Structure 1
């Protein structure tokens, strides 16, 4: 599966050929350096290792520094493997945003925004007592019953309760590529791209 590493920049909007205003997310995608080509013979599986976003040598371990020097590229912050990558690439090549075409559908993987410890109303969309969403006069935002009594004498796993919200790996599928800005290494995507601005994302075909 082909893909590229990118960074979520923010949102804007563009007009299509019919004059309709479309909200889009800007993703700076690549160029990504090919730092390793894994094959069935040498590694047991086929994969292409890509690296993105330059960083200082002092922040890289000696092992990774040697790895990047072997690939003849600057040290990178993000290294990701893509299984069964389409196309013939070798170490030192670059994967650029022209991998994608306008109008095609893609998947985007990222880490969702962390929201800390949240109650059941924010975390799971509970309606509250009598659908009243504010105030604590009678515990109106409380979760209510979470299980049976003497039998089974426990709370089953998976019950919707308060807890840590967000900050987890999310894959949003079938987002549309509205525009590819090759000279700026950017893709304009319509749909929900996970994560805050400035976070890394993986864009897959």
Structure 2
């Protein structure tokens, strides 16, 4: 009788006892495994504590744009109309826009460590409490400011540009002769054709043209461009009603008592629309103190301190 060979301890089990692992799961496991960093350019992968910020990261993009943000907040104004003012510098009558501040006040802050950026929330106008939802009323009550009709955010460079909570913004925030940027929503023109919307020249007036003088013409090639209309093609459609910014407008006149700021040139939007006004980012900053144009709200801590100092 022949002897049986002993079974080794480490043997491969039968195939029917080994569950098959799909390739997709294997690829997923490999992708989750940590990859080796370094090589010829280890500085490209310096993500960690105590290392410099990557240029291509979100923090690096913020640092690159930080120098372009204004040093202080802006203001919300109502567009009242246009007029003309004589400019002694150019010796010409300049077309100007009249803007008026309506109970403009600081209603909130956006912080870099919490929200990811520095900004000041500004509100203007007023609204009845019965026309405001309970969550909104709670937000205003927690901040200790009255209910506002319009709200907007103004980006600032750093924490020093955050105006005190509840401060009332007056028209003397802007100085005569400085430059500002204005933002607003353009007038809605409704459905417009290509000539009005994009400035197309139109079709010829003769040589066989019949009833297509204001048509836009070809919308694109056939086989060469895929037999389709490429995305972004300028065509007829709704015109206006878009956010627009006009830069480098000169402040011609400031009336603090009436809350009026007159700027040169045209401002986007129809009459009585809300305009955001802030220091121009392409001109030098105005050399004024940080507290100019900001009045503490009555009953707030800074206002009480000022009253105590005045009485003393």
TM value normalised by structure 2: 0.60
What is the alpha-carbon root mean square deviation over aligned residues? Answer: 2.0
Paired residue for 1:49? Answer: 121
Paired residue for 2:174? Answer: 100
The 1-side partners of 2:193 and 2:140 are apart by 45
The 2-side partners of 1:44 and 1:129 are apart by 51
> Greater CA deviation, 169-178 or 15-24?
15-24
Q: Deviations over 1:56-96 (max 9, x none)?
A: 11111111112222333321111112222664522221122
> Does the 8 Å CA contact 1:120/1:143 hold for their aligned counterparts?
yes
Secondary structure of the corresponding residue to residue 135 of structure 2 = helix
Asked whether 1:146 is paired with 2:193, we answer no
Matches within 5 A, 1:27-176: 27-84=99-156, 87=161, 89-130=163-204, 132=205, 137-151=210-224, 152-176=226-250
Q: CA deviation at 1:101?
A: 0.8
Secondary structure of the corresponding residue to residue 183 of structure 1 = coil
> Does the 8 Å CA contact 1:30/1:96 hold for their aligned counterparts?
no
Aligned partner (choices 250, 255, 266) of residue 192 of structure 1: 266
Secondary structure of the corresponding residue to residue 55 of structure 1 = coil
Q: Quick check: which one's helix share is greater?
A: 2
> Does the 8 Å CA contact 2:75/2:104 hold for their aligned counterparts?
yes
> Does the 8 Å CA contact 1:30/1:95 hold for their aligned counterparts?
no
How many residues are paired up? 201
> Does the 8 Å CA contact 1:111/1:195 hold for their aligned counterparts?
yes
Aligned partner (choices 10, 32, 51) of residue 81 of structure 2: 10
Q: CA deviation at 1:7?
A: 1.0
Q: CA deviation at 1:17?
A: 3.6
> Greater CA deviation, 61-70 or 165-174?
61-70
Q: Deviations over 1:128-151 (max 9, x none)?
A: 123x5xxx9431101111111233
> Does the 8 Å CA contact 2:255/2:261 hold for their aligned counterparts?
yes
The 2-side partners of 1:95 and 1:165 are apart by 34
The 2-side partners of 1:165 and 1:79 are apart by 25
Larger Rg: 2
Q: CA deviation at 1:31?
A: 3.9
Secondary structure of the corresponding residue to residue 247 of structure 2 = strand
CA distance change for structure 1 residues 15 and 59 in 2, over 3 Å: closer, same or farther? Answer: same
The 2-side partners of 1:153 and 1:194 are apart by 38
Q: CA deviation at 1:185?
A: 0.7
Q: Deviations over 1:79-127 (max 9, x none)?
A: 1122226645222211222111111111100000011111111011111
